[in-house]
Amino acid sequence: MNHLVLEFLKVTQAAAIASNPWVGRGRKMEADDAATTAMREVLGQIQMDGVVVIGEGELDEAPMLYIGERLGSGQGPQLDIAVDPLEGTNLVAGGMNNSSAVIAIAPRGCLLHAPDMYMEKLAVGRGAAGAIDLEAPLIDNVRSTAAALGKTLGEMTVMVQYRDRHREAIQAIREAGARIRLFDDGDVTCSIASSIEGSGVDLFYGIGGAPEGVISAVAIKCLGGEMQARLLPSGDAEYDRCQAMGLGDPGQRLALGDMVRSDECIFAATGITSGLLLNGIHLQADGSLITHSLVTCGQPHGIHFVRSVHANRKAG
């Protein structure tokens, strides 16, 4: 499947470029529509038999990239596709940092079909893989991660989303002596940062969207990190959806292998506005655009940062 890596990179580049004109204009729906349309168009050209397992919503909620939509030529590898054409719609609308277009790919049947509900997530990089346990208190995980990385608690940085639901966790981490790095939106980018050397993030913790959790899990698996998660259904309907997915206990701890059941997977992201890992799109004097992307796939847990120049199609 690795021969398709550059094809999926083109997918995120197209979505990012399409949404770029909407940065800072306060119109998140238009930005998301532009990214979604561009992403779907490029996915339709790839030699594959793809099906969207995480997308813009159910068929009656989204006109394209809906869950269950088949994409590609219909020939080639059978793939599960998880997309977020515009991660951080509010960030783009407000002209704020950390928005991107992301996609994750795995062989058919290998991605958890996570419903749109909350998920508790804990993630670390390769150096601390095996040191976390979602069933243990959060501070125990901070301590065990520090030990695995050879750091003191005072040297630890934990990435947490700035939300009221995380208030107690933030306080506990600070009282233990570790640093907090808060973020607003951009759950995928911030969770995989713990698996990228030089990001300044040692551990990620938070309660956010389950679809974003599965997309993040693909990247973390490719990077050799570890992620554990737990679905948090809010009512009977969400509980029943979990059981329909085959989770007899919807509150069970999910290991990385439960969310991504193959080492043969691909993750790609292209920055729209500059952020923690990626630069935003830059317009040059000649009208060409520079994009900054990251791509990672399966073994041996490497990552590629890609700077691309896209010629001005209107020139001449």
Amino acid at residue number 47: Q
- What whole-number percentage of the chain has pLDDT above 90? 84
Q: Which CATH class is domain 2-110+264-310?
A: alpha beta
pLDDT of residue 208 exceeding 70, the answer is: yes
Give the model's confidence band at 268: pLDDT under 50 very low, under 70 low, under 90 confident, else very high. Answer: very high
Task: Give yes or no for residue 57 having a pLDDT over 50.
Answer: yes
Task: Tell me what pLDDT residue 119 has.
Answer: 94
> Which pLDDT tens digit goes with each residue over 269-304?
999 999 999 999 999 999 999 999 999 998 766 899
CA distance 232 to 229: 10
Helix (H, G, I), strand (E, B) or coil at 222: helix
- C-alpha 82/C-alpha 80 separation (Å) is 7
What local confidence, expressed as pLDDT, does residue 248 receive? 74
Cβ neighbours of residue 252 closer than 8 Å, sequence gap 6 or more: 230
Mean pLDDT across 230-255: 84
Condensed to tens digits (0 to 9), the pLDDT of residues 91-149 reads: 999 999 999 999 999 999 999 988 788 999 999 999 999 999 999 999 999 999 999 99
Most confident among 11-25, 113-127, 229-243 (mean pLDDT): 11-25
- Residues at the binding site for substrate are 87-89, 118, 163-165, 185-187, 209
pLDDT for position 250? 77
Going from N- to C-terminal start, the domains of the chain cover 2-110+264-310, 118-259
Known binding-site positions for Mn(2+): 32, 56, 84, 87, 212
Asked whether the domain spanning 118-259 has the same topology as the one spanning 2-110+264-310, the reply is no
- At 241 the pLDDT is 80
- Output DSSP code: residue 128: G
Taking residues 69-81, report their average pLDDT.
Answer: 95
Q: What is the pLDDT of residue 316?
A: 46
- Residue 63: the pLDDT is 87
Q: Do residues 140 and 132 touch, judged by C-beta distance below 8 A?
A: no
Residue 59 in this model has a pLDDT that exceeds 90: no
Query: What CATH number is given for 118-259 in this structure?
Result: 3.40.190.90
pLDDT tens digits, 27-56: 999 999 999 999 999 999 999 999 999 998
Alpha helices in the chain (DSSP H): 5-19, 28-43, 89-93, 138-149, 167-176, 187-192, 210-222, 236-244, 256-259
Annotated binding site: 32, 56, 84, 87-89, 118, 163-165, 185-187, 209, 212
